[in-house]
Copies of this chain bind each other. A is one copy, B any other.
Amino acid sequence: MGAGNKAVIYQKVPSGIPVPGEHLTVETVSYDDSAPAPEGGVLLQSLYASIDPYMRGRMRPPEVKSYSPAYETGKPLIARSIAKVLKSNNTNYKEGDLVIAFIPIQQYVALDGGQTATILPLENPFGVEDIRHFLGALGVTGLTAYSSLSEIGKPKKGETIFVSAAAGAVGQIVGQLAKHEGLRVIGSVGSDDKLEYILNELGFDGGFNYKKEKPADALKRLAPEGLDIYYENVGGEHLEAALDALNDFGRIPVCGMISTYNHPPGKQYLIPNITNILRKRLTMRGFIWSDPGFGGSYHSEHQAHVGKWIKEGSFKAVMSETEGIDNVPEAFVGLFHGQNLGKAIIKI
């Protein structure tokens, strides 16, 4: 027995935005720091965990089907993490190795032989200094952006793309990838600081703060020529405005609809102009990077391009780090209040 081991526990299904202390708590769980690694397994120390809006979707009654399984109440939240191998009983891993793992948000995690399937060595061929990028631009977030923009967005030089949540984890990457492809990039954000960031730091061609200007008005002002791609992270009023602003044959990769995640049934923002999909022959498609034939097909290309650009300094990827596992519940709630610039990361 011995040292404390804190974990973030999912206590019960929220109906709106989760409440720290009620739906999410931080608890000390049992942990024997003198025990060896499990048979065929490893003992990990979590260094960083990624928190993402999709996790809200897992906080649902288990009978509601969705792409990722519902979290189990009373158990820790599972999150993509960077961890260090403390003890190993598996020839593929040795003490000190860094891994990318899909594990509980918990300081120390013991995995048995079977569970090691959820971890992969952290590969860093370009020697990127800040390993946190492997939870962001070089991780699943980056692959999400890269694969969906290519596969669904089909960007063509000279076209115009509108990216919602443009200073967010995925949005900031999509916008920069689109700039690399020669597109005109318009972004929406929720604060003036974020607006300055996408215009001055990321070099977007236009942007607006949706808390100060309606998306429909802003798109008329910033993209009078119409949109060719709407990269959907938000839903609701943003989607409605984009459906009106899109040109014929426009594409809508649907990565997220964060404005809808905390709406109880019956309170959704309803889109009146869905018939534009017909009239303008739009393609709207949802995806998850891990879908068969989706992200996997772009992994090498994504690593090669974005790894090189980050190393060279021609690609920016801001992260908002929260320090300490105790602060995970508040940090998670912050995702829905637009608190973060770029990718939200927890330093455990």
Contact = CB atoms under 8 A, between A and B. Distances in A.
Contacts of A286: 277-283
B282 A285 contact: yes
A70 to B, nearest CB: 12
A187 interface: no
Contact of A67 (B235, B257, B279, B291): B279
Contact of A272 (B257, B268, B282, B284): B268
Interface in A296-314: none
Contacts of A278: 254-257, 286
A270 interface: yes
Interface string A229-270: 000000100010000000011000011110010000110101
A28 interface: no
Given A271-B271, A271-B274, A283 B281 contact: no
Contact of A284 (B266, B268, B277): B277
Interface residues of A, number: 33
A286 B287 CA distance: 18
Contacts of A291: 249, 281
Nearest to A287: B281
A285 B279 contact: no
A199 interface: no
By CB atoms of chain B within 10 A, which of A67, A271, A280, A285 has the most?
Answer: A285
A200 interface: no
Given A271-B274, A282-B286, 10 more contacts: A255-B278, A268-B272, A268-B275, A270-B271, A277-B285, A280-B286, A281-B285, A281-B286, A282-B285, A285-B285
A57 B66 CA distance: 36
A288 interface: yes
A239 B291 CA distance: 24
A32 B287 CA distance: 61
A289 to B, nearest CB: 11
Nearest to A270: B270
Contacts of A284: 277, 283-285
Contact of A281 (B239, B249, B281, B288): B288
Interface in A29-71: 57, 66-67
